[in-house]
Amino acid sequence: MAIIVLGAGATRGVRFVENNICKPPLNDDFFSQLQHINNEKHFKTIEQAIKDAISLYGKNFKVTMEEFFTQIEFFVKVLPYAKERHGLTRADFNKIKDNFIKSISAVFEESITQKTCEYHTEIVKALVKDSTIVSFNYDCLIDYALKEAGAQKWNARYGYSFPLRKYRLIGDPFWSSSLLHPLATRGETIKLLKLHGSLNWHILNKGKGNKGSIRLKQHLYQNVGTPQFTIMPPEWNKELLKEPAFEEIWKEAARRIRREKIFVFIGFSFVPTDLFAASLFQLSIGKEKIKKLIIVNPDREARRRTRAVLNRGISDKTLIVQFDTFKDFSRAELKTLFSEKRDIGKFEKIEESKAPFGTDSKTVTNKDTLNSPEADKEKSS
């Protein structure tokens, strides 16, 4: 079975956002997308987020979403030791964090104008029961795709891998597949493991000895107050992994990575700040166990990092398939790609070359770039 790994590019690459002024943010352009929001109800939030960034980093700031989100917590930790505090207190940083969470919600509300897209739906249709989706995204495009196209192979009660002995789960019927078909059982359901949380999760812990609660929200956004959802940036993993819900999700991800032989990375990059993600794959993956590695990403460096992180699992029999866009990938024979057969189905513009790391693996691409100097540089890096 296949394990599908979704990054920010899997949301940015959907068809319905192509003509949007505000697009689902990538890590590097969050503040740019924030300023493309046209809905007046978010203007105060946007203005305050920009002011906060300038107060912390200066007028010509260059900071990513994950860096900003992560560093707020570190500023609080360093605050007692800092001689120059810029007049900021712990309460001030909490306000900055709350407004930033509002900003994240605002960007997704503005940019994601449909519940799901055909590309995500095609993935769900091609997956078999008990397959795995690992998502690092906060949005719910894949959740809606499972709800709409996951008949008899998706059940939200068990698919998110929440530890139900420790939490009371509310709202799972809404996110499960159509009631016209029997729901998948605990052992049958596709697993959707959202390692950084989700806009439709609100997790509350009740304390030692008492059950907490997890509410799966139907309405992702709200008009007043700070949005109530549970998400985290990469650097917070160390703290949040102590919480039972995330601990179980990450453990299940490790088990699934260890089990699977077909790996599909869509719009995902192993960024330097997320050492937990890289470590999870490096420690969990079986030695020379990968039969197929499919990478959907136009960035050569991102593809190189993905292959480097997974190098332990790559052998001379590994078939490596690369696509530049989600759109191109969605046109492939996904059921064939996701199978363990050494078959890739039919593609447009197929080329082959030696894989990196000195193996004899095949790299297949849908673009005529393998003979270019840039491609040669990629292959030799």
Where helices occur in 260-333 by DSSP H, the ranges are 275-284, 300-309, 326-330
CB neighbours of residue 341 within 10 Å: 12
Stretch (H or E) spanning 135: strand 132-135
**pLDDT for 272:** 73
**pLDDT for 38:** 95
- CA–CA separation, 239 and 236 (whole Å): 6
Based on the number of CB atoms within 10 Å of its own CB, is 138 exposed (0-12), middle (13-18) or buried (19 or more)? buried
**pLDDT for 358:** 30
In sequence order, what are the beta bridge partners of 132?
A: 3, 191
- CA–CA–CA angle 47, 77, 227 (5° rounding): 40
**pLDDT for 117:** 93
In sequence order, what are the beta bridge partners of 198?
A: 230
Q: Which two tokens stand for residue 313?
A: 């699992």
**pLDDT for 235:** 61
- CA–CA separation, 105 and 365 (whole Å): 36
**pLDDT for 205:** 78
> Are the C-beta atoms of 302 and 267 separated by less than 8 Å?
no
Sorted by sequence, the CB contacts under 8 Å of residue 19 that are 6+ apart come out as none
List, run by run, the mean pLDDT of 10-residue segments along the chain (381 residues).
96 93 94 96 95 91 87 82 72 90 94 94 97 97 96 97 95 87 94 96 78 92 77 64 87 97 96 84 95 95 95 95 94 93 64 36 41 39 44
- CA torsion 277→197→204→52, rounded to 10°? 100
**pLDDT for 163:** 96
Of 264, 268, 257, 373, which Cα lies nearest the Cα of 322? 264
**pLDDT for 87:** 75
Residue type, 157: R
Write the DSSP symbol of residue 346: -
- CA–CA separation, 362 and 325 (whole Å): 19
